[in-house]
């Protein structure tokens, strides 16, 4: 049985509402952050992927090469990522986390986990685990199910204010 249009519409509304709430929480809890949320999204993907092509990160984020280039420049300037030419294609760049980037991600993750623990103080461990599993399943569906979406538009740029 497929998802009904009303349920899909409610889910879209709830996703955007969650996105806005996350941005407010991050803005209010990460005042000491060295990087913005979009730039941190690049840093996180490089950390998850290991050494990877810059073009792959741009594609995963649904942003253009020029936007990614600005983010990479910021992160390189902060000493958080390393970049080098791809030996297989000298025109392409390979990105990897620098030790400072690893430290930043670990500290940001710990800060956010503590914040979330406080915000979800009334939740049971089971409720939190179920929410995490549902969000992981939803993210996986978004990343893998592009049926009916023209290939040229499948990786779209996030809407203004969208978390990455």
51-108 pLDDT, tens per residue? Answer: 999 888 998 888 898 999 999 999 999 999 999 998 988 788 899 999 999 999 999 8
Task: Using DSSP bridges, classify how beta strands 52-53 and 89-97 pair: parallel, antiparallel or unpaired.
Answer: antiparallel
Total residue count of the chain as it appears in this document: 164
Residue position matching structure tokens 């969208």: 162
Spatial contact of 40 and 48, defined as CB atoms under 8 Å apart = no
For residue 82, which phi and psi values (nearest 5 degrees)? Answer: -110, 145
The model carries a pTM of 0.73
Using pLDDT thresholds of 50, 70 and 90, give the confidence band for residue 109.
confident
């Amino acid at each position: 049985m497929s998802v009904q249009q009303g349920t899909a519409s409610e889910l879209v509304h709830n996703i955007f509402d969650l996105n806005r709430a996350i941005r407010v929480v991050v803005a209010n809890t990460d005042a000491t952050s060295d990087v913005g949320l979009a730039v941190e999204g690049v840093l996180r993907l490089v950390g998850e992927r290991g050494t990877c092509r810059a073009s792959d990160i741009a594609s995963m984020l649904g942003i253009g090469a020029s936007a990614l280039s600005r983010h990479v420049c910021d992160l390189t300037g902060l000493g958080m990522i390393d970049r080098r030419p791809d030996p297989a294609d000298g025109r392409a760049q390979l990105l990897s986390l620098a030790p400072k980037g690893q430290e930043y991600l670990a500290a940001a993750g710990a800060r956010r986990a503590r914040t979330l623990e406080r915000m979800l103080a009334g939740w049971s461990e089971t409720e939190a685990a179920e929410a995490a599993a549902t969000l992981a399943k939803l993210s996986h569906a978004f990343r893998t199910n592009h049926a009916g979406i023209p290939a040229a538009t499948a990786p779209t740029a996030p809407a203004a204010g969208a978390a990455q």
